[in-house]
Structure 1
Amino acid sequence: MLKSICIWTAVILGIGADANALFMLWSPADWYLAVPGVTTTGPFNQHFIRDIGLIYLFVGTALLVGAFRPQYRVLLWMSATLWLCGHALFHFWEVAVGICGPSALARDFAGVTLPAILTALLSIWAVADARQERTRSASLL
């Protein structure tokens, strides 16, 4: 049951990240105006938005491939988690140094902090599952 929940969570997060990536890559100006709070972080920069779109494409694809390829799951999910957690921590830093007000954390929670938390939990589960699978395989020898 837990395995199924983890896999489906990764699939949903992966599809969401890839959809966001495609929006950023296809129409950066529309993405800039559509996502709450983005316009308050600085002027429109097509190159920067597309760079971040490529990162989200990697993150989403890593989550999806990891969901269906258990032998790569830990590496791929940990890689996605590393970027998402770094991104979330950067948002906290912006509040800490006064770039944004504390309300930015609530506004950004669903799109920034929650995916970081969820992928961290998925990565922890993936490590434990891989360890358990290795133990199971070794006991069959």
Structure 2
Amino acid sequence: MRNILFLVAIYQAANGLFMLAFPDLWYQSVPDVTHTGPLNTHFVRDIGFGFLAAALSLALAARNGGAAAAIWPGAVFLGGHAMLHLAEMMLHGIAPFAGARDIATIVVPGLAPLAIALLARKNRLREART
């Protein structure tokens, strides 16, 4: 679990840094983002800080063996982002390749920390009862 959290943290930190450093290039490089409306550099950078904050929380949780207090902020942000994408895919439809790409690059890395956090919570509750 720790390795998964570290990998997701690195992936999300890279995305956040890309958004902060090169918002125009990020906007042009990420598939289908241009269909969401015109570029708002300030907004892209704001979201970049969100991805960095999520990455930091996951890295801290991984370093501390999945510490619940550290994992939840990142899990909520990334899980919410993933669920929003899933909802939009279901509501508006998506081409098969684009759907597979979004599942691999947004949904799985976004829901993995949430699944780990929920599993850790379940294990802690089970241990507390014994």
Pair in the same fold by TM > 0.5:
yes
Q: Which has the larger radius of gyration?
A: 1
Identity over aligned residues, as a percent? 33
Is 2:98 the partner of 1:88? Answer: no
What is the 5 A alignment of 1:53-64? 53-64=48-59
Q: Secondary structure at the match of 2:46?
A: helix
Aligned-residue CA RMSD (Å): 2.3
- Distance, in Å, in 2 between the alignment partners of 1:126 and 1:75 is 11
What is the count of residue pairs matched by the alignment? 128
Match of 1:43 in 2: 38
TM-score normalised to structure 1 length: 0.77
8 Å Cα contact 1:21-1:53 kept in structure 2:
yes
Is 2:77 the partner of 1:69? Answer: no
Q: Look up the equivalent residue of 2:25 and give its one-letter code.
A: D
C-alpha distance after superposition, 1:35-87 (max 9, x if no partner): 122112221110111111011001100000111124x7212222212112211
8 Å Cα contact 1:14-1:59 kept in structure 2:
yes
- Distance, in Å, in 1 between the alignment partners of 2:70 and 2:26 is 26
8 Å Cα contact 1:10-1:64 kept in structure 2:
yes
Q: Look up the equivalent residue of 2:4 and give its one-letter code.
A: T
8 Å Cα contact 1:37-1:107 kept in structure 2:
no
Per the alignment, do residues 135 and 69 of structure 1 end up closer, same or farther by CA in structure 2, a change over 3 Å counting?
Answer: farther
TM-score normalised to structure 2 length: 0.83
8 Å Cα contact 2:68-2:117 kept in structure 1:
yes
Where structure 1 has 5 or more consecutive residues not aligned to the other structure, the ranges are 1-5, 137-141
Is 2:96 the partner of 1:112? Answer: no
